Amino acid sequence: MRKVFARPKSMKDMPMHYCPGCTHGIIHRLIAEAIDELNVFEQTIVVAPVGCSVFCCDYFDCDAYGASHGRAPAVATGVKRVLPDKIVFTYQGDGDLAAIGTSEIVHAAARGEKITVIFVNNAIYAMTGGQMAPTTLLGQVTTTTPKGREKELNGSPIKMSEMLSVLDGSAYIARVSVHNPAGIFKAKKAIKTAFETQISGKGFSMVEVLSTCPTNWGMTPLKALKWLEENMIPYYPLGEFKTPTEVV
């Protein structure tokens, strides 16, 4: 008998603080698996955000930084410019990346900063108590949109992958989902490609991962997966928006 599935080496053996059924844990694992498979653990550096995943730098066993809210791409830029041979990735939520951190993410992508961004989009601010995020869907009820997000008042949700893929500096941009095993398989592939894009020095890479927040959505974990599939995927289509071959 041999282990065919076990904790990836890049992840620390400790319980995670996430709520039951929260898909952050799955995404963490996929990143760690990619790092292991590419054999870059010793040279990988993670920049953690502010939000639920503020503690992700505890779970990844590699060297790490804690950034302020939204600024992880700027911190990663500073690190990568000093250590161009190392693998630097940020892990950011939707409030962090698509609201307060829009300036940093857009310009990191525009500069073609050779970093990898894992962007976890669960359409809500989770840590702070379920407020409307820039990616909250129209009609979605949150603690700050008690009647559902209204276009007239709040505008429409931002599609970050589409936005960033039009920039010359971005080399690999994909949107994936972890709502079922097939989605997880594709998510893993995209995350690995993103790291490979960085390793080969082709430019900025980002994987947007559609994720659930059962607690703040007010659903069971299973219902949340279904809700993601039925509501998020139609608005946030999955797929690769930019691949390194398109980079001039």
Footprint on this chain of other proteins (rule: CB under 8 A): 1-7, 11, 15-16, 18-26, 29, 41-45, 47-48, 54-55, 57, 61-68, 71, 74-83, 86-87, 103-104, 106-107, 180-181, 184-185, 214, 220-222, 225
Q: Residue 25: helix, strand or coil by DSSP?
A: helix
Q: Which is nearer to other proteins, 11 or 160 (CB)?
A: 11
* Nearer to other proteins among residue 54 and residue 194 (C-beta): 54
Shortest Å distance, C-beta 26 to other proteins: 5
With respect to other proteins, which residue has the nearer C-beta, 63 or 154? Answer: 63
Single-letter amino acid code for the residue at 85: D
CA dist 15 → 19, 49, 87 (Å): 11, 19, 26
Nearest-approach distance from CB 180 to other proteins, in angstroms = 7
Name which of 147, 146, 97 is nearest 121 in CA terms.
97
Shortest Å distance, C-beta 155 to other proteins: 22
Q: Which is nearer to other proteins, 47 or 133 (CB)?
A: 47
**Phi and psi angles of residue 193, each rounded to the nearest 5 degrees, phi first:** -60, -40
- Cβ nearer to other proteins, comparing 129 with 139: 129
Q: Is 93 helix (H, G, I), strand (E, B) or coil?
A: strand
> Is residue 85 packed enough to be buried (19+ CB in 10 Å), middle (13-18) or exposed (0-12)?
exposed
CB of 231 to other proteins, least distance (A): 18
Nearest to 34 by CA among 10, 63, 69: 10
- At its nearest, how many Å lie between other proteins and the CB of residue 204? 14
